[in-house]
Amino acid sequence: MKTIVVFASGSGTNAEKIIAYFAESEQVTVSKIYTNNPKAGVISRAAALGVATRVFDRNAFENQVLLELQEQKPTLVVLAGFLWKIPPSFIKAFPNKIINIHPSLLPKYGGKGMYGRHVFEAIAANNEQETGITIHYVNEHYDEGAIIFQAKTSVARTDTAADIAQKTHTLEYAHFAPQIQKLLQNK
């Protein structure tokens, strides 16, 4: 059985879609959700789908969480709206096994502080004609790991940041779990 652990900091809609996608699989399971936010919506979403959650603070992240992951030996570590930078010790322990989804076509609108509404507002402010999502490997720098997959959508001049967010989420929900499945076929 191939296992996925998901890290999330917010509402958990992507985590929920990933759990649901693999719910009936006999080859893949989402074994645990990790969150740094004790008020994150992902906690209730995971509980409703029968997946255990681990809430941690900065100290536990730097120490206990890495040890737990090494014991669990997940096939893939998936960042789905997780806002903390992944320490080099994690990257070294899980080379090419940590992936992230970013709400833009990297390298545009990536880097420290570029997440969620900040990305959508920047795209709207710059009158971009297209945007999309990027699924990429995680390395030591924000949003600079090797790109695995990108999907695009058009942006109208009249689109607000909220409109762009909606289009981006549609792409995330359509592509993230299937791309994870493709990656797992090679692991």
Identify the CATH number of the domain in which residue 29 sits: 3.40.50.170
Token code pair at residue 118? 């900040």
Query: Percent of the chain beyond pLDDT 90?
Result: 98
163: closest CA among 115, 131, 137?
131
Q: What is the pLDDT of residues 71-80, one digit of tens each?
A: 999 999 999 9
- Helix (H) or strand (E) holding 35, with range, is strand 28-35
pLDDT 10s digits, 20-47: 999 999 999 999 999 999 999 999 999 9
Residue 62 is predicted with a pLDDT of: 83
Residue with tokens 């004609």: 129
Residues 116-154 pLDDT 10s: 999 999 999 999 999 999 999 999 999 999 999 999 999
Confidence grade of residue 63 (pLDDT, cut at 50, 70, 90): confident
Query: Which one from 102, 118, 141, 169 is the annotated catalytic residue?
Result: 102
Specify whether the CB–CB gap between 65 and 34 falls below 8 A.
Answer: yes
Partnered with residue 4 across adjacent β-strands are 30, 76
What tokens does 43 get? 């906690």
Tokens of 187: 């692991």
What is the pLDDT averaged over residues 166-184? 98
In this predicted structure, the answer to whether residue 170 has a pLDDT above a threshold of 90 is yes
Q: What residue type is 80 in one-letter code?
A: A
Region class of 12: left (phi > 0), else alpha (psi between -120 and 50), else beta: left
Spacing of C-alpha 163 from chain mean position:
21
Question: Is the bond preceding 107 in cis, omega lying within 30 degrees of 0?
Answer: yes
Domains: count for the chain: 1
List, for residues 87-124, the tens digit of each pLDDT value. 999 999 999 999 999 999 999 999 999 999 999 999 99
- The predicted pLDDT at position 177 comes to 98
| Model pLDDT, residue 186 | 82
The rounded distance, in Å, linking the Cα atoms of 121 and 32 is: 32
Six-digit token pair at 57? 């603070």
Percent of the chain with pLDDT over 70: 100
Domain that holds residue 63: 2-185
Question: Is the pLDDT assigned to residue 8 strictly greater than 90?
Answer: yes
Q: Is 102 a catalytic residue?
A: yes
**Residue in this structure with the two tokens 């899980």, named with its chain if needed:** 94
C-alpha 180/C-alpha 15 separation (Å) is 12
The mean predicted confidence, pLDDT, of the chain is 96
Pair 57, 26: CB distance under 8 Å: no
Q: Give the CA distances from residue 3 to residues 18, 22, 26, 99, 112, in Å, rounded to whole numbers and listed in that order.
A: 12, 10, 11, 14, 29
